[in-house]
Amino acid sequence: MRYIDEYRREADAQKFVQAIHQRVTRPWAMMEICGGQTHTLIKFGLDQLLPPSLTLIHGPGCPVCVTPLELIDKALLIARRPEVLFTSFGDMLRVPGSTTDLLSIKAQGGDVRMVYSPLDAVKLAQKHPDRQVVFFAVGFETTAPTTAMALWQAQHLGLTNFSVLCSHVLVPPAMEALLSAPETTIQGFLAAGHVCAVMGYHEYEPVAETYRVPIVVTGFEPLDLLQGIAMTVEALEAGRWGVENQYRRAVCREGNLPAQQTMQQVFEVCDRQWRGIGLIPRSGYRLRAAFAHFDAEWRFDLGGVTAQESPICIAGDILRGAKKPHQCRAFGTRCTPEHPLGAPMVSSEGACAAYHNYGR
């Protein structure tokens, strides 16, 4: 496939690998934010081609993984209601809540459906006017514009049977939270290319400046990642900080303005809890007052949800990059993709699933 195959050629990858080996003179640690990038790194074995002195810290960029347990429990409460048709992206359906997961509710007769796009949920609401259709909106700045458009559509169609359980989170505040943690070892970042395709990368400039780190906007194919790593290494070795853009074919500094405008109409920035990390100020979106009647937390009575985290799962350490999956004592034994104890084992973007599926 065009724009995929040519970025996976081994001979080309080797050139970047060689360049990285020749440039590295001392240990460096960089974080790839996005779980999709973690997957490419592990799937193609890129991590094993790099100099051992280079540490890749896997970041919190797995939407399913950072969605608070409390919100998953709320989703479960809503999905159980007889009048509700509950929709979400596939990964979300398998994430364990405190007691059960969405797929189990479906097996018990609940109307839970996977959708490919939030617009599919709007279509379901049009088709089933007698049902309350709820979309569980998770994800970063890549899925936020898709939820925003679904809400805009619902508004224009005058739908009264559509609502959204909103859990959208934003990357730059999380990067700042990680960088300002006293135990941080992060010296540079590979920023998530598709988040930047939407938001641009000007928001990262003050972060790079304040913490004096290089931030390289990076794509998702093996060649992209190796070039992004090479650029980060080059900046670190040269003592440079600032934002650079590896993923120029899809990202410009300003990002996608029509998408940003729609998001601004629908959402406002709010504080958000990140599972495993805690509260990060101004790190997410909630619905603006003009759209508040589409908020599922407002529409349904959800009082009394108290979440219970698994005592074994160390997802918090994994998401902060403090530990690697195989350092969890449940990894591969009590916790597998078939029977996940925590979200990083469920999601295709979770670090635990990546390590498990590719035999690390």
CB of 224 to ligand SF4, least distance (A): 26
Residues 220, 36: contact at Cβ < 8 Å?
Answer: yes
Runs of H (alpha helix) within the chain: 10-23, 35-43, 63-66, 69-80, 102-107, 118-127, 144-157, 171-180, 193-199, 204-211, 222-238, 257-266, 296-299, 315-319, 343-346, 351-357
CB of 21 to ligand SF4, least distance (A): 31
Choose the contact partner of 89 out of another protein, ligand SF4, none; CB within 5 to 8 A by kind: another protein
Q: Is 143 a binder of another protein (CB under 8 A)?
A: yes
CA distances from 192 to 46, 248, 327, 333 (A): 17, 12, 26, 31
Q: Is 194 a binder of another protein (CB under 8 A)?
A: yes
**308-337 positions binding ligand SF4, by CB under 6 A:** 312-315, 318, 325, 328, 330-331, 335
**203-242 positions binding another protein, by CB under 8 A:** 220, 223, 227, 230-231, 233-234
List residues bridging with 167 in a β-sheet: 138
For residues 250 and 269, which CB has a smaller minimum distance to another protein in the complex? 250
Q: Is 17 a binder of another protein (CB under 8 A)?
A: no
Choose the contact partner of 44 out of another protein, ligand SF4, none; CB within 5 to 8 A by kind: none
Q: Is 93 a binder of another protein (CB under 8 A)?
A: no
Q: Is 142 a binder of another protein (CB under 8 A)?
A: yes
Q: Which member of 63, 110, 214, 284 binds another protein (CB under 8 A)? A: 63
Among the listed residues 129, 128, 119, 124, the one whose alpha carbon sits nearest the alpha carbon of residue 153: 119
Residues 268, 292: contact at Cβ < 8 Å?
Answer: no
Choose the contact partner of 77 out of ligand SF4, another protein, none; CB within 5 to 8 A by kind: none
For residues 195 and 330, which CB has a smaller minimum distance to another protein in the complex? 195
CB atoms < 10 A from the CB of 182, how many? 4
The region of 71-79, 246-254, 286-294, 318-326 touching another protein under the rule CB under 8 A is 246-254
CA distances from 189 to 36, 265, 316, 325 (A): 15, 30, 19, 20
CB of 255 to another protein, least distance (A): 8
Q: Which member of 139, 276, 325, 340 binds another protein (CB under 8 A)? A: 139
Helix crossing, 222-238 with 35-43: angle to 10°?
Answer: 100
Residues 24, 53: contact at Cβ < 8 Å?
Answer: yes
Give me the count of residues in the chain. Answer: 360
Binding residues vs ligand SF4 (CB under 6 A) = 312-315, 318, 325, 328, 330-331, 335, 340-342, 344-345, 352
